[in-house]
Amino acid sequence: MNDPADLLRAALADLVDGLPPRQAAQAVERLIGTYRGDTPTDAPILRDRADVVAYAAYRMPATFAAVRSALAAFADAVPGWTPGSHVDVGGGTGAATWAVSDTWGGSRPVTVLDWAEPALALGREIAAAHPGLRDARWQRSRIGAALTVDKADLVTVSYVLNELTPADRTALVDAAAGAAEAVVIVEAGTPAGYARVIEARDRLVAAGFRVAAPCPHSAACPIVPGTDWCHFAARVSRSSLHRQVKSGSLAYEDEKFSYVAATRLPAGPAPSRVVRRPQIRKGQVLLDLCEPDERLERRTVTKRHRDLYKAARDAAWGDAWPPADGDRVDERGR
Ligand SMILES: C[S@@+](CC[C@H](N)C(=O)[O-])C[C@H]1O[C@@H](n2cnc3c(N)ncnc32)[C@H](O)[C@@H]1O
């Protein structure tokens, strides 16, 4: 079993097996309560081992899946590129390090920065299960005006901006832009998460980066603020702990996330991006697309479009459109 996703699932299952079920469920309830409370905070939310075990078991599969999905879209835009080094800022238990190694095999120098020592300690413990992450550096660091990020090919920031003051968000994005040739930022797929992603996107573009994903362009987002928000969904299998805490019998849930992947590298963004779940009707598929000319458009693909119609039936929310082999049929996907 060498697939990072399988290794992570097994490592997290071992972790939960080591906790009495009631204690695990209580730690998760406390964590959910904390995250519903006010952030940013002056001190780490993840204070002790019970907190971080709860975080790792309950949230890490979802943050891993969201980051992996964002990285897959980024990797499509920079084919042939593999990061030679990675820094994960506010990395916690290291979800993004697992997602990076799932996207680009092999190993690379990895540094995880976070101010919560218990999160770093648990991240190090889980990473021992993965040959590519065993040598990662887990380093205590506070995000703020004094933050320094060592040079790296790739910097990831996942589910962190939400916990920061506006000044610290700015300091973090600037430090990431100064350190890396590629920056991937992921936030919860809520209107507020999207707003933080757009703020970071604007800053990265002003620093000379180009947007590689999800947007087909680096100009302003066509969504009128307050009317909608750009977000996607990643499917996550529910663990036994999830089923224990959340009633219901669904074997999976969809983690909603917003993201931006920006780079100084030459990148080929998607021709356009499917920004809603496609609606399949009789003989036609309705695709809501973000277009390269800074517009949102609903396109109807019908049986008449033959191969493209087949491709539209397979298209998923978040995909590039048309798919690479759909180019053969009609390069504008019309
Ligand atoms: C919701 S967790 C996300 C962890 C991880 N990136 C993930 O995607 O699973 C937020 C992380 O940001 C860290 N964090 C929040 N504010 C911070 C600060 N000012 N300095 C350093 N780390 C911070 C927390 O300790 C926590 O590990």
Going residue by residue through the chain (334 aa), what tens digit of pLDDT does each one get?
578 988 998 898 888 787 777 777 787 888 877 776 666 777 787 878 888 888 898 899 999 999 999 999 999 999 999 999 999 999 999 999 999 999 999 999 999 999 999 999 999 999 999 999 999 999 999 999 999 999 999 999 999 999 999 999 999 999 999 999 999 999 999 999 999 999 999 999 999 999 999 999 999 999 998 999 999 999 998 877 777 766 667 788 999 999 999 999 999 999 999 999 999 999 999 999 999 999 999 999 999 999 999 999 999 999 999 988 644 444 444 4
Q: Omega of the bond prior to 322 within 30 degrees of 0, cis?
A: yes
CA–centroid distance, residue 92 to ligand 1 (Å): 5
* 147 Cβ contact partners less than 8 Å away, ≥ 6 residues apart: 89, 141, 171, 172, 175
Vertex 24, ends 18 and 25: CA angle to 5°?
Answer: 150
CA–centroid distance, residue 229 to ligand 1 (Å): 23
pTM of the model: 0.94
CA distance 89 to 99: 14
Domain ranges of the chain: 4-263, 272-328
List ligand 1's pocket residues with C-beta within 6 A: 44, 46, 60, 63, 90-92, 95-96, 114-116, 119, 142-143, 158-160, 163-164, 168
The encoded tokens of residue 122 equal 């648990």
CA–centroid distance, residue 270 to ligand 1 (Å): 30
Query: Which residue puts its alpha carbon closest to atom 8 of ligand 1?
Result: 158
Q: How many CB atoms lie within 10 A of CB 198?
A: 19
Q: Residue 63: which of 204, 214, 261, 259 has the closest Cα?
A: 259
CA distance 194 to 173: 15
The CATH number given to 4-263 is 3.40.50.150
CA–centroid distance, residue 271 to ligand 1 (Å): 33
